Structure 1
Amino acid sequence: MVATVIAGARRRAVRDGDAQIDTAHLLHGLLESDPDLREVFPGGTPQVIRLLGYLVQRVIGYGLRWSGTVEVSGAAPSAGSGPAGWSPA
């Protein structure tokens, strides 16, 4: 299964024009290939669908606004940058 997930992540990275595989590519592959993993999410199927939706939005361009976030730049978020649960992306 790991080889399948990595192959899918590589395929997504190449298709998206990314130089490297990132966590979103790997997470997308895991969610698609492992039904047991999908059952781990406390929100159940609706939460998994929402997460897959975010990953798809990232692929079609909404992710471009994520440029400069922690994952891309390595910069740490500033203290007090938003309320609990807030994401800089």
Structure 2
Amino acid sequence: AKSSSMFNDPTLEIQELTALIKSDIDALSLAVSELQALQNFESSDRDLSKDSIVHSTTICDDLKSRLMGTTKQFKDVLTARTE
């Protein structure tokens, strides 16, 4: 009888993909941090309108939130796989 587990994937391939995804998440996290630092620096510019500052802050917060959500989903998948 053939196993029908949804996690019936080759372990080595999963480990390689997991490492790639973790690396991508780390790179995205760094990019969001750098973007937020740039946004904070730009916010100190008196020539920017309040709307522009609010908009850029909202974008940074949204990107950070989405990345956190994706990271949590990824960790949940890894946890489910080990159970």
Higher relative contact order (CA 8 A, sep 6+): 2
Q: State which structure, 1 or 2, has the greater radius of gyration over its C-alpha atoms.
A: 2
Q: TM-score range by the shorter chain?
A: 0.3 to 0.5
Between structures 1 and 2, the one with greater helix share: 2
Q: TM-score, normalised by structure 2?
A: 0.33
